[in-house]
Chain A
Amino acid sequence: MWFVVFLLSGISAIEMTFELQEHEVQCFHEIIPKDKKFTLEYQVISGGHFDVDCHLMSPNSKVIYKEQRKQFDTFHHSTVEEGEYTFCFSNEFSTFAHKTVYFDLDMEEDNKDAPGADAGGAHATALTQLESSAYAIHESLRLVVDYQSHHRLKERIGREVAEYLCERVQNWSIGQTVLIVIVAFGQVFMLRKLFDKPASRGGKVGI
């Protein structure tokens, strides 16, 4: 039982990278309790102009957030009602570009692990300096993990462009070389053909 509790207390963030085909809408649902703060963050990693539409709906189908053709964005919200929240990503405006989108839904963690709220004991301990330092370190590390994933995404986008560039340089150079050789031979051949007719042209050529 402890094991499950320990494991479940770690599920306070959902982060996934998924593929979105052209003209497609993908929706994700999440049941969020009342009076919780959550943050939805998304970024387009590859495809087309790197933009996507996103909208977020509350349990009674009210649109809380709606943005068109954004590359990345962050949205904070405090829930007023409990229920199933839906957020959707849409690539309907694109005709042939399939996109890869990363999203991160981060919910405020349960306070049962905060110092001063003992699970077993009935008394609430005052926050000693040590306890508050430990808590502060933990919170800072959450921020570090967050920045690290931003960094990872930007590196990923950069690397894909670099790989694509590398391939392209090679292919186009070879293509260009071949084209030059073809054009040269072609010109020589055409010119020779012009002079191949015998003097029946009528004395204009030659002396």
Chain B
Amino acid sequence: SSVCSCMNAEFGKQWYQRRVRGRVGYCIANMLELLLLAVVVLPCVHALTTTMTTWETKCFIEDVPDRTMITYNYKIHMFDDQLDAYHTAPTPDAKMFFTISELRKVGDGDHIKRIQEFNGGTGVLHYFAEEYGEFKFCLELHPQKSKEWQMTTGKLHLVVERQYQDDAEELIAETQDAITRTLQKTLRKVKQIKMEQRYYKKREQEFRSISWLTANRVIWFGALTAITVIACGCFMMQNLRSFFIAKKLV
């Protein structure tokens, strides 16, 4: 599958694991022992299908912990008027624009990190998030070369993959034993939960610091406003008093 080739071919050496002998203790002499030269543990893959019209923009938001590799693998099948159906294979002259921006704080605006253009109806976009945060991935469908002035629709197949980089190297052996498989899946889930919990802890700390900042701001700006009111009052009284005295009205 395209995801498989993506993982094996596109990543660098640092992502490959060394072979480790199993310690689970089940006899696997006669079975196929496929030690996966798997990259980074814990891939999370989501596949969805939706429709898009020309010039339409679809935005997805990824909320990820630090050191996560996000991969968007898309295929677009355009609608053919002659066939009156969607193409069965990705349309070669469809153009797609990807924009990745980072949303850190409200009101700061989106910081655009990368813009990439894809031709050929299918493409893979990788993005490595060093810092944790929310990233907005926007896809914009541009008109096909053969139909510059027409509005057409296309069916978009999107496979989104999030891979968390983990420190420990882990044995991933495919055995045919159900219990080993279940235990390994369980272990993987536990690691995923641990990683996400770490991220949420950081997020919650950020939240708390924002609340403290707000509390401080309320106090200080309240004091500032009160002092301003008093100062203006004094200024007004003093100014008008001297004015009236000069004018001999009092």
Residues of A within 8 A of B (CB): 2-4, 6-8, 10-11, 13-19, 26-31, 100, 113-121, 125, 130-131, 134-135, 137-138, 141-142, 144-145, 148, 151-152, 155-156, 158-160, 162-167, 169-170, 173-174, 176-177, 180-181, 183-184, 187-188, 191-192, 195, 205-207
Stretch in contact with the other chain, from B12-20, B122-130, B143-151, B204-212 = B204-212
Chain A residues with CB under 8 A of B236: 184, 187-188
5 residue pairs of the A-B complex, CB under 8 angstroms, read: A145-B192, A160-B106, A192-B243, A206-B247, A207-B248
Quick one: closest B residue to A13, CB to CB?
Answer: B46
Looking at the assembled complex, report how far the CB atom of A82 sits from the nearest CB atom of chain B, in whole angstroms: 15
Given contacts A113-B178, A148-B193, contact A2 B34 (CB under 8 A): yes
Judge whether B11 is part of the interface by a CB distance below 8 angstroms.
no
Complex: how many Å from CA A137 to CA B190?
10
Chain B residues with CB under 8 A of A164: 106-107
Interface string of B228-250 (1 = CB under 8 A from A): 11001101100110011001110
Quick one: closest A residue to B157, CB to CB?
Answer: A29
Given contacts A28-B48, A28-B50, A29-B50, contact A7 B63 (CB under 8 A): no
Interface string of B177-198 (1 = CB under 8 A from A): 1110111011001101100110
Q: Is the CB of B186 within 8 A of A167?
A: no
Complex: how many Å from CA A35 to CA B148?
44
Q: Is the CB of B3 within 8 A of A17?
A: no
Chain A residues with CB under 8 A of B4: 3-4, 7
Q: Is the CB of B249 within 8 A of A206?
A: yes
Q: Is the CB of A30 within 8 A of B225?
A: no
A-side interface mostly? helix
Q: Is the CB of A10 within 8 A of B45?
A: yes
Considering the complex of A and B, which 10 residue pairs feature the smallest CB-CB distances, nearest first? A173-B221, A184-B232, A120-B176, A17-B61, A19-B59, A29-B49, A141-B189, A115-B178, A166-B214, A163-B106
Chain A residues with CB under 8 A of B210: 159, 162-163, 166
Q: A11-B46, A113-B182, A188-B240 are in contact. List 18 more A-B contacts (CB 8 A).
A: A7-B3, A11-B45, A19-B59, A19-B60, A19-B136, A26-B58, A28-B50, A29-B155, A113-B181, A118-B176, A135-B182, A138-B182, A145-B189, A159-B206, A188-B235, A191-B243, A192-B243, A206-B247
Looking at the assembled complex, report how far the CB atom of A206 sits from the nearest CB atom of chain B, in whole angstroms: 6
Complex: how many Å from CA A188 to CA B235?
9
Complex: how many Å from CA A145 to CA B38?
23
User: How many residues belonging to B are interface residues under a CB distance threshold of 8 Å?
Assistant: 73
User: In the complex, which residues 28-82 of chain B have their Cβ closer than 8 Å to any Cβ of chain A?
Assistant: 31-32, 34, 36, 38, 43-51, 58-63
Complex: how many Å from CA A159 to CA B133?
13
Looking at the assembled complex, report how far the CB atom of A22 sits from the nearest CB atom of chain B, in whole angstroms: 14
Quick one: closest B residue to A180, CB to CB?
Answer: B228
Looking at the assembled complex, report how far the CB atom of B246 sits from the nearest CB atom of chain A, in whole angstroms: 10
Looking at the assembled complex, report how far the CB atom of A109 sits from the nearest CB atom of chain B, in whole angstroms: 10
Quick one: closest B residue to A101, CB to CB?
Answer: B61
Q: Is the CB of B48 within 8 A of A167?
A: no
Looking at the assembled complex, report how far the CB atom of B193 sits from the nearest CB atom of chain A, in whole angstroms: 6
Chain B residues with CB under 8 A of A134: 179, 182-183, 186
Given contacts A115-B179, A148-B197, A195-B249, contact A162 B214 (CB under 8 A): yes
Complex: how many Å from CA A115 to CA B186?
13
Question: Could you say which of A6, A27, A118, A151 has the most chain B C-beta atoms within 10 Å of its C-beta?
Answer: A6
Which of A6, A26, A205 has a CB less than 8 Å from the CB of B249? A205
Looking at the assembled complex, report how far the CB atom of B170 sits from the nearest CB atom of chain A, in whole angstroms: 14
Complex: how many Å from CA A184 to CA B203?
44
Chain A residues with CB under 8 A of B47: 11, 14
Looking at the assembled complex, report how far the CB atom of B47 sits from the nearest CB atom of chain A, in whole angstroms: 6
Q: Is the CB of A151 within 8 A of B200?
A: yes
Which of B48, B185, B244 has a CB less than 8 Å from the CB of A138? B185
Q: Is the CB of A195 within 8 A of B176?
A: no
Quick one: closest B residue to A134, CB to CB?
Answer: B182
Given contacts A4-B1, A160-B106, contact A131 B224 (CB under 8 A): no
Given contacts A134-B186, A173-B224, A191-B240, contact A18 B61 (CB under 8 A): yes
Complex: how many Å from CA A14 to CA B48?
7
